[in-house]
Chains A and B, each alone.
Chain A
Amino acid sequence: MILDGKCPTGPIEKTWDKHRFDLKLVNPANKRKYNIIVVGTGLAGGAAAASLGELGYNVQAFCYQDSPRRAHSIAAQGGINAAKAYPNDGDSIYRLFYDTIKGGDFRAREADVWRLAQVSNNIIDQCVAQGVPFARDYAGYLDNRSFGGAQVSRTFFARGQTGQQLLLGAYSALSRQIKAGTVKMFSRREMLDLVVVDGVAKGITCRNLITGELESYAADAVCLCTGGYVNVFYLSTNAMGCSVTANWKAYKKGAYFANPCYTQIHPTCIPQAGDYQSKLTLMSESLRNDGRCWVPKNKADLAKHPDEIPEEARDYYLERKYPSFGNLAPRDIASRAAKEQCDDGRGVGPGGRGVYLDFSTAIKRVGADTIKERYGNLFEMYEKITDENGYKRPMRMYPAPHYSMGGLWVDYNLMSNIPGLFVLGEANFSVHGANRLGASALMQGLADGYFVIPYTIGGYLAGIKPGVVTTANPEFKSSVDDVKGYSKKLLSINGKKTVSEFMRELGGLMWENCGMARTEKSLKANLKKIPALREEFWKNVKVSGANGEFNQDLENAGRTADFLEFGELMCRDALHRNESCGGHFREEYQDQGEAQRDDANFCYVGAWEFKGENKEPELFKEPLKFDNVHLAVRSYK
């Protein structure tokens, strides 16, 4: 089947404005009759719940954390892009659009990306009005920095905590609506099922994480803003609670999962120190503005202190390979380059998995104080974790799973193939193609939440009658029964291995065979090993505690069970995509180390439909058309 993204046609500059005008509206007096569920309160969810509440809809918002302010958007450090062109350096909406399409290796929809670039400017204005303390210059104007994959300075930032400040901005808007009574907040709730009535999304089933009780919530539309799935690698920069569960439950209720193989491996993370490690910590890409990546040219120098290695014996591999972008090459490229050096046996630090990120040149140029002002909190964080001083010796970095470009398939209105189910932010697949540029995730989350969904959801709701389905509908009861049965089964196995042991094992398989580089062989191996591991899980996992109580082990068990299914789909998608593009690098398809796209055969979005337990999912394709940019080999040389 050919999927249709329902993108507006005509001149790209006019698409969003025209579409907005064409969308039906809900009368202000009728808005309060519509209930909307928003799952997740990160940038996308928080912004959506606040904006929809303000419009007058009845919003119910859910998050698994104890407060909506804790979603993992908070950990984004570097910044947020916008085409303001304040520095007068040639930026424009068109250039942001172009950079994003190119950065995504031509695997995203033009119309969606155009809209993102267009509303990016509104986001900055919105956040400033909320009181987000963006960096300012001495005249009081907004300051910019440059970021990977762009040759203009378009990134707005709040020290090294931009994600935190933007999220707190959205959280404050949300808090205002909670106070106003338009949004009802349910924290410490985990969505464990999507309720679909007659093919239309009408509610969710949640576990109250405090009491363990299962709760049903009905609505006229459901928005999933539940983030990404790179915790499938076990070790990633995501928060411990990030999971594929909400998306996976929607997938199993019929929503298509698009491009799951597109995962972003962030080039600058603190290398793993041991097997016990629970997560990896990212260091902002902005560090590459002033830090230079290098490894020793000679293996003999590996044991030496970096200061003892003279300049001529260092290989500044990014500057060598990509002279025009240098250390600011996009993430996928920088990550692979780091892996290449380590595979070549020239990696530094424990296990030889690390490259140096060296600030000595920048410190000489602008002084340690300036570097401290720019990145002080990052240096502090690095020292806390590694016990090394980044000012005095180069930091050690290694790529780590960070972001998922893939996600549930949505049309231009952000609605999935299930009517009434909308997917926002990282949880959908829409704008980043096969690779996301730095400082674009924050932009997408807020664009979807503040400036897209408030319009597009109206277009859907205007066409349906409000409040037709309530929790009295038998679908809700049967969903609760299913979830209850599932938890009971998990608790009853009482095997020998813990949940984290399984998750670690799955993560290892995914990282080895479906990580930064994939081959047909490695993926096929995983397609055998993952089902076997899953089978073992359901026979031999040990989950402690009981159902009707606060039980973190049970929470983790459910998330792991979903990852064990999802990992297989991810490998299947990676196997079918016989090309290399962006974050998906198939070793068979390369040209001297550079990814080799196959536009003739794979210029499409691959969306998978669930066909039943242990049955092969079916692939649908949405062809990608490029009318405004030319498909070209992506070069940063």
Chain B
Amino acid sequence: MSAHNEHKTMTLTLIVWRQKNANDQGKFDTYVAKGITEHHSFLEMLDVVNEDLIKGGKEPIMFDHDCREGICGMCSQVVNGVPHGGQERTTVCQLHMRKFKDGDTIYIEPWRAKAFPIIRDLVTDRSALDTIIQAGGYSSCHTGGVPDGNAILVSKPDADYAMDAAECIGCGACAAACPNSAAMLFTSAKVAQLAVLPQGKPEASERVKNMLDAHKECGFGNCSNHYECQAACPKGINVKFIAKLNREYLKAQFT
């Protein structure tokens, strides 16, 4: 355990986007984070900064966070230009400070996209993602009155494929990372999950059309196959699901 008991501390310079509310212009402010150890998570590092700010009579940096274990999808910060900070398959709440060096300067910005208006500081409104799901991201079964679970057989490869897609946590990093602000990876993950399962097939064509319409109406851009989304996705959702969505959309034109 020797390496873990040493708590060498770091000092970091943070350049953080501050914006009072949706109508405010917003600007970058600079803060110093002191006494940070390699075991601090990125958000715990911000907690430390915020404690100092509050004590100093200043307003803390507001940021969305909740589970802090990488599953709820609430945390949403662009660290040094990359959503969630660029560690593979890691949300910013699971990003640890051991990935940084003493003396580093870190830029922290909110998700930026027309479809994600800023509420305050690093907090954005991501209800557009809910709107896309509401457009068709479900199987319209009723509560009760469904067959036995084993009456619907799903091959293991299909179940695995659906699960790979269903791992999406809906954080919106795909749209934040996309040079076109397209949330196509998000949309495709749900389309693909339900399209491959027998339960989702009856509504597959309506679903893909409606969800794509909602995607557009929410103000997201168009996918142009940069694949930046997959690289930024904290769950590593694969762009093959976008291919699947495209395929489903084409199929839907003939059904």
CB atoms of A and B under 8 A apart anywhere in the complex?
Answer: yes
Pairs A-B, 6 closest by C-beta atoms = A140-B153, A172-B138, A129-B146, A133-B162, A129-B141, A136-B159
A210 proximal to B (CB < 8 A): yes
B197 contacts A550, C-beta separation under 8 Å: no
How distant is A40 from chain B, measured CB to nearest CB, in Å? Answer: 13
A175 contacts B130, C-beta separation under 8 Å: yes
A240 contacts B66, C-beta separation under 8 Å: yes
Q: Which of A69, A86, A176, A303 contacts B73 (CB 8 A)?
A: A69
Interface centre among A126, A133, A348, A451 (most CB of B within 10 A): A133
Given contacts A131-B193, A350-B1, contact A138 B156 (CB under 8 A): yes
A172 contacts B137, C-beta separation under 8 Å: yes
Q: Which candidate, A106-114, A307-315, A380-388, A617-625, is the interface stretch facing chain B?
A: A380-388
Given contacts A139-B153, A165-B166, A498-B51, contact A126 B98 (CB under 8 A): no
A477 proximal to B (CB < 8 A): no
Closest to B141 in A: A129
Q: Which of A71, A133, A454 contacts B159 (CB 8 A)?
A: A133
A130 proximal to B (CB < 8 A): yes
Interface residues on A, range: 35 or more
Q: Which of A75, A131, A542, A552 contacts B71 (CB 8 A)?
A: A75
Given contacts A381-B69, A498-B51, contact A66 B125 (CB under 8 A): yes
Interface centre among B67, B89, B135, B200 (most CB of A within 10 A): B67
A164 proximal to B (CB < 8 A): yes
B250 proximal to A (CB < 8 A): no
Taken residue by residue from 501 to 524, chain A's Cβ proximity to chain B (1 for < 8 Å, 0 otherwise) reads as 100000000000000000000000
Q: A75-B72, A156-B149 are in contact. List 13 more A-B contacts (CB 8 A).
A: A69-B170, A72-B66, A75-B67, A129-B141, A133-B166, A164-B71, A164-B167, A165-B163, A237-B69, A276-B40, A278-B41, A281-B68, A350-B5
Q: Which candidate, B55-63, B173-181, B216-224, B239-247, is the interface stretch facing chain A?
A: B55-63
- Interface members, chain A 249-295 (any B CB < 8 Å): 273-274, 276-279, 281-282
Q: Which of B43, B94, B140, B147 contacts A385 (CB 8 A)?
A: B94
How distant is A250 from chain B, measured CB to nearest CB, in Å? Answer: 22
A-B contact pairs, 12 of them (CB 8 A): A65-B74, A68-B130, A70-B74, A129-B146, A132-B166, A136-B155, A164-B169, A187-B130, A237-B69, A276-B48, A278-B47, A499-B54
List of B residues within 8 angstroms of A348 by Cβ: 1
B89 contacts A380, C-beta separation under 8 Å: yes
List of A residues within 8 angstroms of B101 by Cβ: none
Q: Which of A140, A156, A279 contacts B156 (CB 8 A)?
A: A140
List of A residues within 8 angstroms of B150 by Cβ: 84, 86, 141-142
Closest to B94 in A: A384
Taken residue by residue from 1 to 29, chain B's Cβ proximity to chain A (1 for < 8 Å, 0 otherwise) reads as 10011010000000000001100000000
Give the CA-CA distance A69 to B144 in the complex, in Å.
Answer: 22
Give the CA-CA distance A500 to B123 in the complex, in Å.
Answer: 20
How distant is A157 from chain B, measured CB to nearest CB, in Å? Answer: 10
Taken residue by residue from 38 to 55, chain B's Cβ proximity to chain A (1 for < 8 Å, 0 otherwise) reads as 111101100110010111
A175 contacts B47, C-beta separation under 8 Å: no
Closest to A373 in B: B160
How distant is B157 from chain A, measured CB to nearest CB, in Å? Answer: 9
List of A residues within 8 angstroms of B141 by Cβ: 126, 129-130, 173
Closest to B171 in A: A70
B199 contacts A130, C-beta separation under 8 Å: yes
Q: Which of A54, A179, A282 contacts B134 (CB 8 A)?
A: A179
Give the CA-CA distance A138 to B135 in the complex, in Å.
Answer: 33
Interface centre among A66, A71, A281, A499 (most CB of B within 10 A): A66
Closest to B120 in A: A550
Closest to B210 in A: A179
List of B residues within 8 angstroms of A134 by Cβ: 149, 159
Give the CA-CA distance A133 to B43 in the complex, in Å.
Answer: 31
